[in-house]
Structure 1
Amino acid sequence: MEIEIPDMHFNKNEYVETVSGNKISRQTVLCGSQNIILSGKVIVHDDVIIRGDITNIVTGRYCIIGRNSVLRGLGMFQLQIGCHVYIGADSIVNGAFVGSYVYIGNNVIIGQRCILKNCSMIADNTVLAPETTVQPYMRYEGSPAKCVGELSECMVDSMIEFTKNYYEHFTAAKSDVNAD
């Protein structure tokens, strides 16, 4: 399954690019930044709030965090997010653990202490009740969320391809590149 991703250009003045390849919007709110670890090649879009002041937030590589999303752990439970994870726009992640190769759609609410195991999918407009465990290769949707089916075994390859392509196509606008 090939995923076509259009070129997405950002204004270089509106994003911070770190040595490890993270691209973080200047419109992002990082609370307790000393407790936030982005492992590299992570894209954090506009108006995201990451609450490291509550507990540690750790992401793996090639994570995409969509506009207006909120990431927060809960007290003594750090929020751990694996590699090759997509979190859509307007989503709230309160969970304790999000595995690798996970797709979270737009306008999703992940309840407190939820566990999303590797290779899982949460559809757009889904509300996942607190303390829910999503098993590998399962798709949840609805409000309240219900398991609606299994995912293909190619989920790992699909998410790697999707997140890497997304990262490669998210580049500084040509006029910004020439301005340096």
Structure 2
Amino acid sequence: MSLQPPVYYIKSEYIETDTGNKVSRRATIAGPQNIILGGKTIISSGAIIRGDLRRTGPGHAVVISLGRYCLIGENCVVRPPYKTYRGTFNYYPMKVGDHVHIGAGSIVEAATIGSHRELIGDIYQSKFTIIKDCAKIADNTVLMPNSVVPALAHFAGAPGQFVEDLPESTQEMVEAETKSFYNRFQPLES
């Protein structure tokens, strides 16, 4: 197996936190007090994470939680799901597990995204989607509201449909890929 080359970024264009998160200065992090990054997460240029959207009433912050080794691609939008219940419009928390790769241009409003997941680019996940561990969503897939993607499943299409079962080794493969990308993501001095 050949080693993959480094992916360079301009150091002055990223902020690196104490826990190893690398956040582009060109990303929009709205409501950072309501966003939790687990560590060693990369948020690319043009990404938008909406932690500023709130439930109604004081003290009802909506939390977006991203696990360790998450890769948020360029121009992604990550925002909490919302619905009107008994005449009241509310946002709800969003939890993203560890080792999740969200490809460039995706729009994500899922309630839960499990660990060891690969979302390729240009995906639209409708409100309250639940994506279990070790699943893969292909390019240009549209997941319908309240849909559930089972563990070890590959989904594609518009609307998203089951394509095939993934191998039991998917967890190890995705974990190796996200760690490798993080380690190859190296600063280029400006």
The CA RMSD over aligned residues, in Å, is: 1.2
Match of 1:40 in 2: 39
Distance 1:90 1:3 in 2: 29
In terms of mean alpha carbon deviation, does 146-155 or 73-82 score higher?
A: 73-82
Partner residue of 1:155 out of 141, 160, 170: 170
Q: Distance in 2 between matches of 1:17 and 1:117?
A: 29
**CA drift at 1:77:** 1.9
**Runs (4+) off by over 3 Å:** 2-5
Q: Give the secondary structure class of the aligned counterpart of 1:67.
A: coil
Q: Is it true that 1:61 corresponds to 2:68 in the alignment?
A: yes
Q: Percent identity?
A: 39
Question: What is the deviation of 1:5?
Answer: 3.6
Instruction: Name the amino acid aligned to 1:125.
Output: N
Deviation at 1:18, TM superposition (A): 0.2
TM-score by length of 1: 0.93
- Matched residues in 2 for 1:4 and 1:158: separation? 15
Equivalent in the alignment of 2:85: none
Q: Which has the larger share of strand?
A: 2
Q: TM-score w.r.t. structure 2 length?
A: 0.89
- Show the counterpart of 2:78: 71
Residue by residue over 1:98-142, the C-alpha shift from the partner in whole angstroms, topping out at 9 and shown as x without a partner, is 000010010000110000000101001111111000000001001
Match of 1:6 in 2: 5
The 3-state SS of whatever aligns with 1:165 is helix
Stretches of structure 2 that go unaligned for 5 or more consecutive residues are: 54-61, 82-89
Partner letter of residue 150 of structure 2?
Answer: Q
Unaligned 5+ runs, structure 1: none
Q: Distance in 2 between the 1:6 and 1:142 partners?
A: 32
Deviation at 1:53, TM superposition (A): 1.1
In structure 2, how many angstroms separate the alpha carbons of the residues matched to 1:79 and 1:92? 13
**In 2: Cα distance, 1:171 partner to 1:47 partner:** 19
Question: In 2, distance between residues paired with 1:42 and 1:115?
Answer: 21
1:22 aligns with 2:37: no
Q: Find 2:141's aligned residue among 110, 113, 126.
A: 126
Greater Cα shift, 104-113 or 69-78: 69-78
**In the TM superposition, what whole-angstrom CA distance separates every residue of 1:150-180 from its partner, at most 9, and x where no partner exists?**
000001100110000000000101x34xxxx
